[in-house]
């Protein structure tokens, strides 16, 4: 709530001396165009919230921190004051008002001295304050001057305001007693991955009843590598506790870095290291390691398949090249051809010639050698069977 954030200094910074007690009534009213106004009130004793006003029933809801009290049972009067200011202040200032805040109460010192106060703010800015001794209003902003003139004329209202903060408030303080509160501080460290990035938000959440808690720090060997660090608080929480929160952006690429937070208190320090989990207990580092292991396995399989494919393609290409390369022509010795021809001439059967050729040339035979031998035989036979050749031979000796 905005009004709580604006009043943090009044809740956390002690303005009273030893033995003194303070009681504050913090009210806020807000309205948006077309909506009904919303009114809230929180009662704080010595910086500890002790009561909350229910806006529906207008009754005070007491906190369990109270052991005894003399608080009013309802907050109807305070609720009407806020609603009235939401309606009248905009008309007097001729401006739009969305939020009205009121802080009133008293401080009772050990010697019985009473300091009373009442102040108003509009849209988060100081607006007007009340002096209980003179029962006069003083504007804190130029726009509040019309309200100052109008409220100073309402003597009955001013008298009632003075009576409440000067007379009723100190009596309430004397009847309030808080339960003993253990000075407890809780520190939780967790992380949340940032979608579609390799970054994560590390959170250190501190809840403490110890008022001496004022700071929280990021530690670990990965602290110096954080992209940025932000600390908010102390902020008031329920039952008088305060909240501090540290947020740091860290990298998810390295799971060997350590991160932790330390909180300084009045008596000792509390340190907690991040165990790699998210807020709901899921292990963030485990998922990161599994992801990288799976990615490494996939890349290994891809590399192995690529190597096998390259080797197979190279072997196929090599085999094709070997098959396409023509075998060198065989050289036939002329003397062997002549001997082979004589053997073949001495055999009259063609089948027997084929057998002799297969044995001499190999079981499968050599078609090219056989063709060469056949050509030699044909040339030789041509000399024997050519008529012109024989004519020349016959005519020659006769002549």
Q: List the alpha helices (DSSP H) in the chain.
A: 2-6, 8-12, 76-93, 145-152, 155-163, 169-174, 284-324, 334-345, 350-361, 367-385, 387-398
pLDDT for residue 312: 83
For 16-72, what is each residue's pLDDT tens digit?
A: 345 789 999 999 999 988 888 899 999 999 888 889 988 788 888 888 878 888 888
Q: How far apart are CA 232 and CA 244, in angstroms?
A: 6
* Domain end point (choices 178, 201, 235): 178
For 122-180, what is each residue's pLDDT tens digit?
A: 999 999 999 999 999 999 999 999 999 999 999 999 999 999 999 999 999 999 988 87
Tell whether 217 and 358 lie within a shared domain: no
Q: What is the mean pLDDT of the chain?
A: 79
User: In 3D, which of 232, 264, 272, 237 has the Cα closest to residue 248?
Assistant: 232
pLDDT for residue 26: 94
- Decide if 157 contacts 136 (C-beta within 8 A): no
Tell whether 277 and 291 lie within a shared domain: no
* Domain end point (choices 216, 248, 282): 282
Tell whether 7 and 50 lie within a shared domain: yes
- Banded model confidence at residue 1, pLDDT cuts 50, 70, 90: very low
For 338-366, what is each residue's pLDDT tens digit?
A: 666 676 666 555 655 665 666 555 544 45
Half-sphere exposure of 15 (CA within 13 A, CB side): 16
pLDDT for residue 11: 42
* Domain end point (choices 121, 151, 178): 178
Under DSSP, the state recorded for 74 is B
Tell whether 367 and 319 lie within a shared domain: no
DSSP 138-207: EESSGGGHHHHHHHHT-HHHHHHHHHIIIIIHHHHHHT-EEPP----EEEEEEEEEPTTSSEEEEEEEEE
Compute how many other C-beta atoms are within 10 angstroms of the C-beta atom of residue 90.
16
For 307-333, what is each residue's pLDDT tens digit?
A: 888 888 888 887 777 666 555 555 556
pLDDT for residue 13: 40
- 364-371: list long-range contacts, CB under 8 Å, 24+ apart: 366/330, 368/329, 368/330, 369/330, 369/332
Q: Is the pLDDT at 205 greater than 60, yes or no?
A: yes
pLDDT for residue 168: 94
* Whole-prediction pTM: 0.49
Tell whether 68 and 134 lie within a shared domain: yes
For 265-311, what is each residue's pLDDT tens digit?
A: 777 788 999 888 888 878 776 444 555 556 667 877 888 888 888 88
Token duo for residue 162: 């003075």
pLDDT for residue 368: 57
Q: Is the pLDDT at 112 greater than 70, yes or no?
A: yes
Mean pLDDT throughout 172-197? 84
Rg of the Cα atoms in the chain? 53
- Decide if 31 contacts 37 (C-beta within 8 A): yes
For 232-273, what is each residue's pLDDT tens digit?
A: 878 877 666 788 899 999 887 666 688 889 988 777 788 999
CATH of the domain at 148: 3.30.500.10
pLDDT for residue 10: 44
- Decide if 185 contacts 209 (C-beta within 8 A): yes
pLDDT for residue 337: 60
Token duo for residue 133: 């001794």
Burial 241-261 (b: 16+ CB within 10 A, else e): bbbbbbbbebebeeeebebbb
The pLDDT > 90 percentage for the chain reads 30
pLDDT for residue 62: 87
Tell whether 219 and 94 lie within a shared domain: no
User: Which has more confidence, 193 or 134?
Assistant: 134
What is the domain count for the chain? 4
pLDDT for residue 211: 72
Tell whether 101 and 164 lie within a shared domain: yes
Tell whether 99 and 231 lie within a shared domain: no
pLDDT for residue 364: 46
CATH of the domain at 199: 2.60.40.10
Domain containing 316 equals: 287-325
For 95-107, what is each residue's pLDDT tens digit?
A: 999 999 999 999 9
User: In 3D, which of 10, 102, 88 has the Cα closest to residue 48?
Assistant: 10
**How far out from the chain centre does Cα 250 lie?**
9
Tell whether 255 and 341 lie within a shared domain: no
Q: Is the pLDDT at 223 greater than 80, yes or no?
A: yes
Q: How far apart are CA 154 and CA 163, in angstroms?
A: 15
Tell whether 153 and 266 lie within a shared domain: no
Tell whether 249 and 296 lie within a shared domain: no
Q: Is the pLDDT at 398 greater than 50, yes or no?
A: no
What is the dihedral angle through the alpha carbons of 137, 138, 143, 148, rounded to the nearest 10 degrees?
30
pLDDT for residue 88: 92
Tell whether 210 and 301 lie within a shared domain: no
> Residue 204 pairs with which residues in a beta bridge?
189, 246
Residue partners of 109: CB distance under 8 A and separation at least 6:
16, 17, 19, 20, 115
- Banded model confidence at residue 109, pLDDT cuts 50, 70, 90: very high
């Amino acid at each position: 709530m905005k009004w709580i954030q604006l009043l943090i200094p009044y809740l956390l910074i002690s303005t009273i001396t030893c033995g003194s007690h303070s009681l504050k009534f913090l009210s806020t009213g807000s309205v948006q165009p077309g909506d009904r106004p919303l009114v809230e009130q929180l009662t704080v004793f010595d910086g500890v919230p002790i009561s909350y006003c229910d806006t529906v029933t207008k009754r005070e809801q007491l906190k369990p921190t109270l052991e005894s009290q003399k608080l009013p049972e309802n907050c109807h009067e305070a609720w009407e004051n806020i609603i009235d200011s939401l309606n009248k202040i905009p008309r007097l200032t001729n401006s739009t008002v969305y939020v009205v805040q009121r802080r009133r109460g008293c401080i009772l010192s050990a010697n019985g001295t009473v300091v009373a106060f009442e102040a108003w703010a509009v849209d988060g800015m100081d607006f007007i304050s009340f002096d209980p001794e003179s029962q006069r209003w003083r504007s804190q902003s130029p726009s509040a001057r019309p309200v100052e003139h109008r409220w100073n004329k309402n003597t009955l209202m001013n008298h009632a305001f003075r009576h409440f903060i000067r007379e009723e408030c100190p009596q309430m303080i004397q009847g309030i007693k808080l339960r003993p509160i253990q000075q407890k501080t809780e520190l939780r460290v967790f992380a949340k991955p940032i979608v579609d990035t390799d970054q994560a938000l590390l959170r250190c959440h501190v809840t403490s009843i110890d008022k001496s808690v004022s700071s929280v720090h990021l530690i670990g060997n990965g602290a110096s590598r954080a992209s940025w660090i932000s600390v908010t608080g102390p902020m008031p929480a329920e039952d008088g506790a305060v909240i501090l929160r540290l947020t740091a952006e860290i990298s998810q690429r390295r799971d060997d870095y350590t991160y932790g937070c330390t909180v300084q208190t009045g008596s000792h320090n509390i340190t907690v290291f991040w165990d790699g989990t998210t807020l709901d207990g899921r292990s963030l580092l485990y998922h990161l390691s599994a992801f990288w292991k799976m990615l490494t396995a996939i890349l290994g399989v891809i590399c192995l398949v690529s190597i096998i494919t390259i080797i197979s393609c190279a072997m196929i290409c090599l085999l094709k090249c070997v098959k396409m390369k023509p075998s060198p022509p065989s050289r036939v010795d002329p003397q062997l051809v002549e001997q082979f021809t004589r053997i073949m001439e001495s055999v009259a059967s063609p089948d027997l010639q084929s057998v002799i050729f297969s044995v001499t040339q190999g079981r499968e035979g050599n078609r090219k050698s056989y063709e060469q031998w056949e050509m030699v035989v044909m040339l030789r036979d041509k000399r024997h069977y050519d008529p012109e050749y024989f004519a020349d031979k016959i005519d020659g000796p006769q002549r």
